[in-house]
Structure 1
Amino acid sequence: MEKEQPLLQSITLQDLKLSNRIVMAPMTRSRANNKDNAPTDIHAEYYQQRASAGLIITEGAQVSPRAVGYIYTPGIYAEAQVTGWKKVTEAVHQENGHIFIQLWHVGRISHPDFHKGELPLAPSAIKPEGVQVYTPDGFKDAITPKEMTKEDIYQTIEDFKNAAIKAKKAGFDGIEIHSSNGYLFHQFFVNSSNQRTDEYGGNDENKTRFFFEVLDAVKEVFPENRIGVRLNPSMHNIQGIIADEETIPTFEYIVKKLNNYNLSYLHLSEPFSDISDVDFLVTHIAQHFRPFYEGSLMINGGFDQETGNKIIEEGYADMVAYGKLFISNPDLPQRFAFNAPLTQWNQDTFYTQNTKGYIDYPPFEGELNEV
């Protein structure tokens, strides 16, 4: 009998035992009720279909109305949202699955249309160039945001804590802090979007202070071993984020400091685009950051079955998060186990507001040949 694939081996994240190391990555799917940003019954079916993942991380859920930047995306700050998410967690737990919710604040990647005319919040009043926001009235150019006052920062810390309280009430096994992809925390980490001169800007300690204050706040609700963190260190020229020579050292500082916390995992993403000509960034994120982090490391971005198994086998990561493959293959772990063919996703249905391309991808029904 052949050796079990690394992806299919169980793993224990502190006190949480996962049946495999295949994680469903957080993915915006734009199916929430636009009236109250609440998940609906089809969310429960969607996530339940994918409960064979070792761990599901939900799509980003806004921690407050001020955190919103996209239409039809769910929140986790109101009771209607808690009710909707509770159906999701119950459905996943019925299949013996595990599910974390991703807590999200988009920062400047928003528009006054979402905030009754008020400007989006950001570390500094710097417009994200080349960015468009999908508002209820269609795509509009992003605008110059409002620089957050200290009161805004303190309120946002409280918003994350309140969202964690709501997440626990909804039955989630844990939370992931969305601190990547050009959103609010990432905007604080990078000089191009953070030009503050107070204790929230300048050096690494200051640029990351807000993030760690949020982490300290949410650990009062969920124990550290039920909290994950997501970072995208080599994101460049996307969502208005422009990296520089200080960017990777700043992320190294963050990752090293995270060793002071007994986290469930650290979730890192490979670059979204070609950065081969940007010599101050790194292209192999897991290999670069593995020596800095002592806990469980999850990697995501462009992996298939072969490369996923390889990166775990080589010791650079403990888990691999898959996105698009989980959209069109709800039974992805079983397909990997039996070397079954994979269904191609339909990108045209990623962000539509109906069931097509959401809950209508069937599990594999052909002959299964064990690897």
Structure 2
Amino acid sequence: MKDIFDECEFGNLKLKSRIVRTGLWESQKEMGNLSPEIFLRYERLAQNHVGLITTELISIYPHDRFSDYSHSINSTAFIKEFNYLTGIVHQYDVPILAQLGFVNCNVNGRHNISVNDLTIEDIRQIQSDYIVAAKKASLAGFDGIQINMGNNYFFAKVIDPSENKRKDDYGGDTFKRAKMILELIKVLKDNGDLHISCRINANGEETLKIAELLEKVGADSIQITKPSSPQYFTKDSENKNILFDIADEIASKVNIPVILGGGLSDMASINELINSTNIDFVSMQRPFVYNPTFLSEWADGREVESLCRTCNNCYWKKTSTCHIVHDEE
């Protein structure tokens, strides 16, 4: 029987639990650099039973929609500061991935380029920028990267048939729409040993096709999330998270780890899920904002459910702090 706190393999990584902390924003920056509060936050995550940490968003391009609230891969102190952060996490034998993404495409001197207006030169520039970003992540001590191609990030638009109307080799069927990303992953896997995780939207059978293509070119894991905000997980008439079925189907068809992207916050539901489906891993974000140490309380039997109220203030205010906790203090 599987349990939340099983030690298990996650591709080429070893995890001490089945819970993945997924990131969103980082609020305690000091003039664009990491602050002591950020280092403390990651240490508390690593020493309290989390299996895998995915960082808050690291933006590929400056002047992106969320660049004021996220880290930048182009920061002059990126490698030095994040090398210190990953060193803290690794002291507790917890792997950590750098989440890379962008919303606004600003390349080759142009701004806010749409998917359909990308030139081949633009596509090659984006791929090159990701390769450079992955190299920086490797030098900073990360175990891998997560390519954010979900929610409303640019890569989600690239693979979305309602957005991508291109008539060349990078538009049309599922393979062609995903080709830009598939080429990128193949180059990364052929030239390095970073774990490559892909965050993708749940869009029915299209999602399964994309997952199978990602596995074929070498992706090491997949996280299933929602097309819109990652904060809301609508339930159907059977009171079931809408991501359950598609994540379960994908997990049954691919031979790489599949992460359910949120929606559960109590031990009983998670243990039932991992024992009744093909899903082995569950990610969370808001419960860790409320209390970075709650998994230790679960492991010790002091609590069985996160006390996070899912009010979403940490999301709407673009911070990584809980306003309820601060108000109560």
- Give the alignment's TM-score, normalised by structure 1: 0.74
In 2, Cα distance between equivalents of 1:324 and 1:94: 24
Contact 1:270 1:301 in 2 (8 A): no
Code of the aligned partner of 1:57: T
Residue 255 to residue 348, structure 1, CA distance change in 2 (3 Å): closer
Picking from 134, 149, 155, the partner of 1:179 is 149
Classify 1:251/1:353 alpha carbon distance in 2 versus 1 (closer, same or farther; 3 Å): closer
Q: What is the CA distance between 1:352 and its match in structure 2? A: 5.9
Larger Rg computed on CA atoms? 1
Question: Percent same amino acid at aligned positions?
Answer: 24
Residue 221 (structure 1) shift: 4.9
Checking the alignment, whether the CA contact within 8 Å between 1:265 and 1:296 is kept in structure 2 is yes
Tell me whether 1:288 sits opposite 2:257 in the alignment. no
1:177 aligns to what SS in structure 2?
strand
Q: Is structure 2 residue 118 aligned with structure 1 residue 123?
A: no
Q: Distance in 1 between matches of 2:35 and 2:80?
A: 9
Distance 2:319 2:201 in 1: 30
Q: Alpha-carbon deviation of 1:68?
A: 5.4
DSSP 3-state at the match of 1:186: helix
Is 1:321 the equivalent of 2:316? no
Listed as ranges, the matches of 1:73-84 within 5 Å are 73-84=70-81
Q: What is aligned with 1:257?
A: 213
Post-superposition offset of 1:299: 1.0
The structural deviation recorded for 1:196 is 1.3
Q: Which amino acid is the alignment partner of residue 233 of structure 1?
A: A
TM-aligned CA distance change 1:207 to 1:38, over 3 Å: farther
Give structure 2 stretches of 5+ with no counterpart: none
Residues 26-59 of structure 1, C-alpha deviation per residue, up to 9 Å, x if partnerless?
22234434x5x44333221111110131110111
TM-align CA RMSD: 3.0
Runs (5+) with no aligned partner, structure 1: 125-146, 235-247, 362-371
User: Secondary structure of the residue that 2:14 maps to in structure 1?
Assistant: strand
- Counterpart CA distance in 2 for 1:204 and 1:344 is 38
Greater fraction helix: 2
Alpha-carbon spacing, 1:273–1:195, altered in 2? closer, same or farther (3 Å)? farther
* 1:339 to 2:301 alignment: yes
Contact 1:29 1:350 in 2 (8 A): no
Contact 1:300 1:322 in 2 (8 A): yes
Number of residue pairs the alignment of both structures matches:
310
1:267 equivalent to 2:223? Answer: yes
1:306 aligns with 2:306: no
Q: Look up the equivalent residue of 1:312 and give its one-letter code.
A: I
Q: Distance in 1 between matches of 2:318 and 2:163?
A: 32
Residue 210 of structure 1, CA deviation = 0.9
Task: Report if aligned partners of 1:67, 1:104 keep a CA contact under 8 Å in 2.
Answer: no
Aligned amino acid, residue 41 of structure 1: P
Report the alpha carbon displacement of residue 94 of structure 1 after superposing the two structures with TM: 2.4
Of residues 24, 45, 49 in structure 1, which corresponds to 2:44? Answer: 49
- In structure 1, C-alpha distance between the alignment counterparts of 2:236 and 2:164, rounded to whole Å: 25
Change over 3 Å in CA distance of 1:254–1:320 after alignment to 2: same
1:190-231 CA distance string (max 9 Å, x none): 12211111111111121111111221232245426x111111
